[in-house]
A and B are shown apart, each in its own frame.
Chain A
Amino acid sequence: MSGAKMETPMTTTTVSMTVNGKQVSADVENRTLLVQYLRESLGLTGTHVGCDTSQCGACTIYVNGLPIKSCTMLARQADGAEVTTIEGLADGDTLHPMQEAFRENHALQCGFCTPGMVMSAIGIVERNKDSLDEKTVRHELEGNFCRCTGYHNIVKAILAAHKEMTA
């Protein structure tokens, strides 16, 4: 039946990190992905999984100040890290300027790609504080797929948020 590897009980380890300003910890297997840790251990289901191949960007979050794909990092690799997810952006009832720009510009339809888009978009603004044009936005959105909007309004929203965030 199953091979020797399947019969070995999986070891678990306690992994701790700061997520959206709060200290958290949970026991996980070595193979647990960071996105599983967030969604399943912490119940933070805002971060989505859209693919199996590390290509779609729906799982994008911030780790130690940089946008990364949380489906392509082990929870154990993020032990001790500073993490921000989509749930950590708004200030109470006040949306983050990027979230607000997505809302105002109708930059989402089904909304599945949106959490990753917003996180990735914040990275685009941070990397291009001095100036940002449409071509750069489109190039830097390469890692985020949207199956609904045709990207046009997403690009508009990011350019609008750039103005707001750098004003």
Chain B
Amino acid sequence: MYDFNYKRASSVDDATASVAEADEGKFVAGGMTLLPTLKQRLAQPSDLVDLADLGDLVGITVNDSTVTIGAMTPHAVVNASADVQKAIPALAKLAGLIGDPMVRNRGTIGGSISNNDPAADYPSAVVGLGATVHTNKREIAGDDFFVGLFETALEEDELVTKVVFPVPDKAAYMKFPNPASRYAIVGTFVSQGPQGTRVAVTGAGSHVFRQSDMEAALEANFASEAVENIKQDDSDLNTDIHASAEYRAHLVTIMAKRAVAEANG
């Protein structure tokens, strides 16, 4: 690992100012993506600004219509939250499918969505539930947040503070994990509720996307039969040693079908 300057931010303003002032500053949250990247020397930030002391960014608030999760809330806390399990069980379940218990004890929702790995789980929930991402500067609709491979709408010194998820009438997440890394080869999040009928797909493309043919079909009839014959176009999907684009396209339909069945309970 290359060396870097390190500081623990004392407030959100201190964190963003420190990153803005540095040559190449980076926030560090759980470090579950950033530190492996640094260990491989795939990045060389001049400064790491640790968000660990920003207690205001940790926590979950649930009311009748929303679940709000602070950016620094670890996956394990979301997974174990009785309030989340009650309001949006699909979200609690998704958090429990990320990595392994040690990764879930450190990794955070803010880090996961800011990193926007094409195979990450949380982006599918943000888009699949029509959530809103709050930052120190503004509110960004989930649909506008993920813009490309490892690319988000965030500016360099912009910090995610929390994510607000509208409570759906029904929702479910189905993931076909890579058996070694447990990242999604394909994951499909479906929901119906205040944000309409949504089908968000992760793992398959450069970043999470909505499957509009399936959304239209489910809008008319929210049943797994409605999606089982809808084929995903594979022309823009990922091919790697784990799965071909064609196979991923096939999995999109299968995962959607299973997710709808689970959402209907």
Contacts and interface: CB of A to CB of B under 8 A. Distances in A.
B110 interface: no
Interface in A114-130: 120, 123-124, 127
B3 A29 contact: yes
Interface string B1-40: 1111110000000000000000000001001100110111
Contacts of A76: 6, 50
A160 interface: no
Contacts, number: 85
Interface of B: 1-6, 28, 31-32, 35-36, 38-40, 44, 48, 50, 52, 76, 80, 99-103, 105-106, 180-182
B40 A67 contact: no
8 contacts: A31-B38, A55-B181, A67-B101, A67-B105, A68-B102, A124-B101, A140-B100, A143-B102
A66 B99 CA distance: 16
Interface in A31-83: 31, 33, 52-55, 57, 60, 66-69, 71-74, 76-77
Given A52-B40, A54-B35, A74-B31, A143 B99 contact: yes
A67 B48 contact: no
A43 B99 CA distance: 30
A149 interface: no
Interface in A1-30: 5, 8, 10-11, 13, 29-30
Contact of B101 (A5, A8, A74, A123): A123
Contacts of A123: 101-102
Contact of A73 (B35, B100, B181): B35
Contacts of A66: 76, 105
Nearest to B6: A30
Interface of A: 5, 8, 10-11, 13, 29-31, 33, 52-55, 57, 60, 66-69, 71-74, 76-77, 120, 123-124, 127, 140, 142-144
Contacts of A140: 100-101
A77 B102 contact: no
B36 A72 contact: yes
Contacts of B100: 57, 140, 142-144
Contacts of A10: 3
A21 B146 CA distance: 45
B2 A68 contact: no
Contacts of B1: 31, 33
Contacts of A67: 101-102, 105
Given A54-B32, A72-B31, A30 B4 contact: yes
B35 A127 contact: no
A123 B101 CA distance: 9
Given A68-B106, A140-B101, 12 more contacts: A5-B3, A5-B44, A11-B5, A31-B2, A53-B40, A54-B103, A67-B105, A72-B35, A74-B48, A76-B50, A77-B31, A143-B99
Contacts of B38: 31
A144 B35 CA distance: 19
Nearest to B44: A5
B187 to A, nearest CB: 16
A120 B99 CA distance: 14
A5 B41 CA distance: 13
Contacts of A13: 6
Contacts of A72: 31-32, 35-36, 106
A77 B52 contact: yes
| A77, A123, A144 interface centre (most CB from chain B within 10 Å) | A77
